[in-house]
Structure 1
């Protein structure tokens, strides 16, 4: 499967099957379905270490994305990219936005996958707008998948806008 979920933290349960399904759907929407991606859930301490080591920023963050070049040994499976997500940071952000933790986790996965697909919100306003448009397109697709498959105990009784908040057209 192109997306592998790796839970390296113990504070929050992670529905690896549901998140893998959603990440694969997101990749299809991005046209990146054949990319092998690892999504690793970590704590604030671990993401801070990685953020300091690779970006020179000595603080925790919510999500980091890393694209990898072609594998050194083509016959050995090697990820095309990796996404690290701090569940502690995601939980705090979810609380601040008054949204479910699952929603924030999915939003961070979408954000990370957009970075791996080449989008970058830090290179200028036009690029940021393109990335935001891609994120919204993916979120709309995933809303349908979440409701259709009743993921995260969110069923048809809840309006899709309650899953991700209101997503503008």
Structure 2
């Protein structure tokens, strides 16, 4: 499993992001949720404007979003927007580190095939899985 972090020349503290990604992926594999092998994942940090453009192009929502997940069959990509993540962290009373970890886990859950826009039970399963993985990483 190759993990590539690319901060798109932004001033973003990415320390720990690779560790969160790797550990969360290991936990999802142990639970047989993430089944892909030899699947490189790229994490890209983008500006609010770039996030808005991508969100509009792929989800028809004209606003920046915290994370976008793209499954390209042979690889995956997580697009994170620190601007949105910082705002959401403040609103939720979380550290930026925890909120970023949550968005990485959330993106991995999407790459595993679980989506919050599915039926109630599947959405609930995805949310509980995220909470469990975050707790196992030391985020309460």
Bin the TM-score by the shorter chain: 0.7 to 0.9
1:1-169 mapped onto 2 (5 Å cutoff): 1-8=1-8, 10-15=10-15, 18-31=16-29, 32=34, 34=37, 35-70=39-74, 80-143=75-138, 164-165=139-140
Q: Aligned to 2:62, what secondary structure does the other structure show?
A: coil
Residue ranges of structure 2 left out of the alignment (5+ in a row): none
Q: Residues 2, 137 of structure 1: CA spacing in aligned structure 2 closer, same or farther, 3 A cutoff?
A: farther
Tell me how far 1:12 sits from its aligned partner.
3.1
Contact 1:2–1:24 (Cα < 8 Å) also in 2? no
Compute the TM-score of the two structures, normalised by the length of structure 1: 0.74
Contact 1:2–1:37 (Cα < 8 Å) also in 2? yes
CA distance in 1, matches of 2:116, 2:110: 9
RMSD, aligned α-carbons? 1.6
Tell me how far 1:13 sits from its aligned partner.
2.3
How many residues in Structure 1 have an aligned counterpart in Structure 2? 134
Larger of the two Rg values belongs to structure: 1
